């Protein structure tokens, strides 16, 4: 096969955008040029790499494998460039991180402190639901990933770096908010506002409820912590969220943590990457920065 590195970048852009024109714009080439190079890649491989259905592009199995190979090569080259920069005494390059949505409450501070030490770096931060982060992890699209429930079917390098307590909240005006101690049985008559199925918070709550054979009366399933807090503050029910979603406080924006038996649920934040992945110097430095920052707070 005779495929150039630039062609591999073009195919990565095609895989990421699902569009020839968008891939062309990403690499600053014309669409006819992009189409011609994609045909050359397909001819060189000798297998169909994608198909067009209803003006939308879908990768074949070989196409997915090529995109994955292209990402691995691109990341290895980026790591080599960063290594060369470190020999010259320079620290620059791009750091790519994917985090679940609840991590947005602490991630900017960790990133900000790191960027002050390394002002010449670029950061690509993806904030997604758990399913989105897990998919990017499977596709090896980033340097590092932060979540509370890593998938058990992927071999990972996994560092637990910070607690992630899961709490029950009620509207500050609710009698529950003033109760000294609440049992799960006491919650049976209340409606619940929960995160969507598949989120780490929802998985932890569902596991706890199953353990105690409690079936919550779910009124709403919402895709963000902000939506859950607003719904609870509006009197639509009680919610289950990470304490980080309340910025670490017991009350916020019309809601208050209630003292429910068995809560807070023990959970933790994990910093992960595929176990066979060699971190770039920049990613390794950021990993160390996270672990040191959290340890300093503990001490």
Same domain? For 279 and 153 the reply is yes
DSSP codes, 243-291: GGGGTT-SEETTEEEE-BTT-SBP-EEEEEEETT----HHHHHHHHHHH
Q: Residue-wise over 2-12: b if at least 16 C-beta within 10 A, else e? A: ebeeebbbbbb
Tell me the C-alpha distance between 145 and 128, whole Å: 11
Same domain? For 280 and 152 the reply is yes
Same domain? For 10 and 142 the reply is no
How much is the pLDDT for 54?
A: 77
Give me the CATH number covering residue 252. 3.40.190.10
Indicate if the pLDDT at residue 207 is higher than 90. yes
Of 249, 245, 223, 227, the closest CA to residue 236 belongs to 227
Tell me the C-alpha distance between 61 and 47, whole Å: 10
Same domain? For 170 and 129 the reply is no
Same domain? For 246 and 287 the reply is no
Indicate if the pLDDT at residue 299 is higher than 60. no
Q: CB atoms < 10 A from the CB of 111, how many?
A: 18
Strand 166-171's sheet: what is its strand order?
217-222, 191-195, 238-242, 166-171, 255-258, 251-252
End-to-end Cα distance, the chain: 55
Q: Which of 39, 64, 89 is the last residue of a domain?
A: 89
In a domain, 117, yes or no: yes
Q: Which of 33, 65, 89 is the last residue of a domain?
A: 89
Same domain? For 131 and 49 the reply is no
Indicate if the pLDDT at residue 195 is higher than 70. yes
Same domain? For 159 and 273 the reply is yes
In a domain, 263, yes or no: no
Number of domains in the chain: 3
Q: List the domain range (segments joined by +) for residue 248.
A: 166-258
In a domain, 39, yes or no: yes
How much is the pLDDT for 177?
A: 85
Q: With cut-offs at 50, 70 and 90, classify the pLDDT of residue 298.
A: low
Same domain? For 144 and 277 the reply is yes
Q: What is the DSSP letter of 182?
A: B
Same domain? For 174 and 148 the reply is no
Of 6, 153, 141, 145, the closest CA to residue 64 belongs to 141
Tell me the C-alpha distance between 210 and 295, whole Å: 34
The three-class DSSP label of residue 11 is helix
Please state the rounded mean pLDDT for residues 223-232: 93
Share of the chain above pLDDT 90, in %: 66
The set of residues, in sequence order, having a beta carbon less than 8 Å from that of 78 and lying 6+ positions away, is 93, 94, 280
In a domain, 213, yes or no: yes
Tell me the C-alpha distance between 180 and 198, whole Å: 32
Span 47-102, pLDDT tens digits: 999 998 877 889 999 999 999 999 888 888 887 887 787 666 557 788 999 999 99
Same domain? For 110 and 130 the reply is yes
Q: Which of 68, 89, 110 is the last residue of a domain?
A: 89
Same domain? For 254 and 274 the reply is no
- DSSP E strand stretches across the chain: 50-53, 56-59, 93-100, 121-128, 144-147, 156-163, 166-171, 191-195, 217-222, 238-242, 251-252, 255-258, 268-274
Indicate if the pLDDT at residue 216 is higher than 70. yes
Same domain? For 103 and 117 the reply is yes
In a domain, 216, yes or no: yes
In a domain, 85, yes or no: yes
Span 105-160, pLDDT tens digits: 999 999 999 999 888 888 999 999 999 999 999 988 999 999 999 999 999 999 99
Give me the CATH number covering residue 31. 1.10.10.10
In a domain, 29, yes or no: yes
């Amino acid at each position: 096969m005779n495929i150039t590195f630039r062609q591999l970048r073009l195919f990565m852009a095609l895989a990421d955008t699902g569009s020839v024109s968008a891939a062309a714009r990403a690499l600053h080439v014309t669409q006819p040029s992009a189409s011609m190079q994609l045909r050359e890649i397909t001819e060189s491989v000798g297998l169909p790499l994608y198909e067009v259905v209803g003006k939308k592009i879908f990768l074949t199995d070989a196409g997915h494998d090529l995109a994955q190979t292209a990402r691995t090569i691109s990341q290895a080259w980026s790591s080599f460039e960063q290594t060369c920069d470190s020999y010259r005494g320079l620290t620059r390059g791009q750091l790519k991180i994917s985090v679940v949505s609840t991590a947005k409450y602490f991630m900017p501070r960790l990133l900000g402190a790191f960027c002050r030490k390394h002002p010449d770096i670029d950061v690509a931060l993806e904030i997604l639901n758990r399913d989105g982060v897990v998919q990017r992890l499977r596709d090896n699209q980033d340097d590092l990933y932060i979540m509370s429930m890593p998938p058990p079917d992927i071999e990972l390098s996994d560092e637990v770096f910070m607690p992630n307590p899961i709490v029950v909240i009620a509207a500050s005006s609710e009698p529950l908010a003033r109760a000294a101690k609440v049992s799960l049985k006491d919650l049976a008559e209340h409606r619940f506002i929960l995160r969507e199925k598949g989120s780490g918070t929802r998985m932890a709550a569902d596991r706890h409820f199953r353990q105690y054979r409690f079936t919550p009366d779910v009124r709403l399933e919402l895709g963000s912590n902000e939506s859950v807090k607003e719904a609870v503050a509006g009197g639509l029910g009680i919610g289950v969220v990470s304490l980080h979603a309340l910025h670490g406080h017991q009350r916020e924006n019309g809601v208050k943590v209630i003292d429910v038996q068995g809560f807070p649920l023990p959970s933790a934040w994990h910093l992960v990457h595929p176990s066979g992945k060699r971190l770039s110097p920049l990613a390794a430095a950021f990993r160390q920065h996270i672990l040191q920052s959290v340890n300093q707070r503990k001490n």
